[in-house]
Chain A
């Protein structure tokens, strides 16, 4: 490569990186605000160099009890992921291995849950949960979030099961293994990385979800996104604390997302592309 071409290449790369960093400014802004005092957060011109403080975090998570909401978010995400996997994995396996009468209808139904707006399911679930005295309970929101995530597990895991050659199952069957046995002892271990990625996506879906949790949870079970708007009060908005909660919501998600980066496209387009 000539010197000139190399210089152009390098310039383009620098411009591209600068563009990406500028694009991310709003997010960096959120993180930095969470470490600023009230005065620093509101200063004009914005302070780029400041003394970091964890006062916002202490204030909101300990004194305002958002620690409880953090725990709620974890509980909900954990159980949603578990239920979705327990119910979704066998179904995904069956879609990958067997043809059944009517399974196309079931497949379309699963796709349908992806297309259904959250509000369409939240409204009747609100009435049903109210009648069953399950409003503001963990069971209510966990079941509601699972409704969307089961389909997600089926879509994503079918892709992973499809990558295991059918011959492996068949040879296990010849050796006297039942379908259930070959599911548990062969297919699940062989797709462990896929299951891990799917679990992370499920947990993130539930962790980030707002509308359904907003409708179905109450004071005791509110997840972090549900509690967050409570920091915008008529007396004023606690921006530093909002930023602190926002950071706590997003940073774990980013860490996990980087771990499953390889499966990112697969997860995001689950059900759309094989």
Chain B
């Protein structure tokens, strides 16, 4: 019996070996190398600095770096606002889509999913074109309707962050909508029948039956979107470049700048370790809440 188990183990290992080897080489080795660099004082602007060991000095610098904390705060605002707006809009769109069936549903779903297939960089460029103060569609509309809005939303901190959030909402609301739609379609019909027999009204059905049924999927979607939003880079890079000032400098952009604009490699490596640990905590939480639950069912 034990022999049979062992042979199965060996077969399993054989199937896993290519992935284990390649992932070790292209993810594990770089991450360990990154950890090593973070204890040194490697900077491109100083020769020989690659070998100066400084211990935890880079990490101490991070904790007292105002720009780091600013980036964390900007990212937090961005993640919370964009995920929340996507959630609300996405659920509404999903409920609408769920109302139609057949080829009409397929056509509408195809249209709805367009934004999330557009490369994030292109989304950023698209909006910088539309928001161009001289010839953009936005400033034309502001003039046309005599709106009391700034014609250059990207030149003020608060509104620039708002625009960045909007581009993310534009791109990823479809994701929330499709996830919710899938949950709605998979929902059993019996609770609805029972509710109708008991004479429940529409809002009661929505809040007491629909919401609880789709809640697990919505929870997963929020986590997935939240994690992806933490990693926003392309749109901020091309649309605002972190500015004005550093009002839209999200954490990945800040880290990128430290590494490839200021060439503070070791400091950036330490930032990467911090980011990795933060995401690891999210990963463990996610694992315990979602995957753990699934395997218990």
Task: Tell me if A243 and B12 are in contact (CB < 8 A).
Answer: no
Q: Please tell me if the beta carbons of A147 and B182 are within 8 angstroms of each other in the complex.
A: no
List the one stretch of A53-61, A64-72, A89-97, A188-196 in contact with chain B.
Answer: A89-97
**Segment at the interface with A among B57-65, B125-133, B192-200:** B125-133
B49 contacts the other chain (CB 8 A): no
Q: How far is the CB of A56 from chain B (nearest CB, A)?
A: 13
C-alpha spacing A179/B259, complex, angstroms: 47
Determine which of A24, A90, A101, A150 lies in contact with B23 in the assembled complex, contact meaning CB atoms within 8 Å: A150
Whether A115 contacts B127 by the Cβ 8 Å rule is no
Interface size on B, residues (CB 8 A): 88
Considering the chains assembled together, what is the distance between the CA atoms of A243 and B260 in angstroms?
A: 27
Q: Within 8 Å CB of B31, what residues of A?
A: 120-121, 124
Check A264 against B119 for contact (C-beta < 8 Å).
Answer: no
Q: Is the CB of B179 within 8 A of A269?
A: yes
A208 to B116, CA, bound (A): 11
Residue pair B129, A29 in contact (C-beta under 8 Å): yes
How many angstroms from the CA of A229 to the CA of B120 in the assembled complex? 13
Chain A contacts to B: CB under 8 angstroms? 13, 16-17, 20-21, 23-27, 29-30, 33, 41-46, 83, 86-88, 90-91, 93-94, 97-101, 103, 106-121, 123-128, 143-144, 146-147, 150-151, 154, 179, 183, 204, 207-208, 210-211, 215, 225, 228-229, 239, 242-243, 246, 249-250, 253-254, 257-258, 261, 264-265, 268-269, 272-274
Encoded as 1 (CB less than 8 Å from any A CB) or 0, chain B from 138 to 182 comes to 001000100000000000000000000000001000010011011
A127 to B115, CA, bound (A): 35
Contact A100 B9 (CB under 8 A): yes
Are A229 and B238 neighbours in the complex by a CB distance under 8 Å?
yes
Q: Are A128 and B233 interface neighbours, CB within 8 A? A: no
Q: Residues of A contacting B25 with CB < 8 Å?
A: 143
Alpha-carbon distance A110/B22, docked complex (angstroms):
12
Query: Could you tell me the distance between the alpha carbons of A99 and B231 in the complex, rounded to whole angstroms?
Result: 33
Min CB distance A57 to B, Å, is: 16
Q: What is the distance, in angstroms, from A73's C-beta to the closest C-beta of chain B? A: 10
In the complex the two chains form, is B217's CB within 8 Å of A273's CB? yes
Given contacts A29-B130, A116-B279, contact A179 B11 (CB under 8 A): yes
Given contact pairs A117-B231, A117-B252, A210 touches B121 in the complex (Cβ within 8 A): yes
Q: Which of B80-88, B203-211, B282-290 contacts A (4 or more CB under 8 A)?
A: B282-290
CB-defined A-B contacts under 8 Å, sample of 27: A26-B127, A29-B129, A45-B140, A88-B19, A98-B12, A100-B13, A106-B16, A107-B291, A108-B287, A111-B287, A115-B280, A117-B230, A118-B231, A119-B255, A119-B256, A119-B259, A120-B276, A127-B33, A150-B22, A207-B119, A210-B121, A261-B106, A261-B110, A269-B179, A269-B220, A273-B220, A274-B294
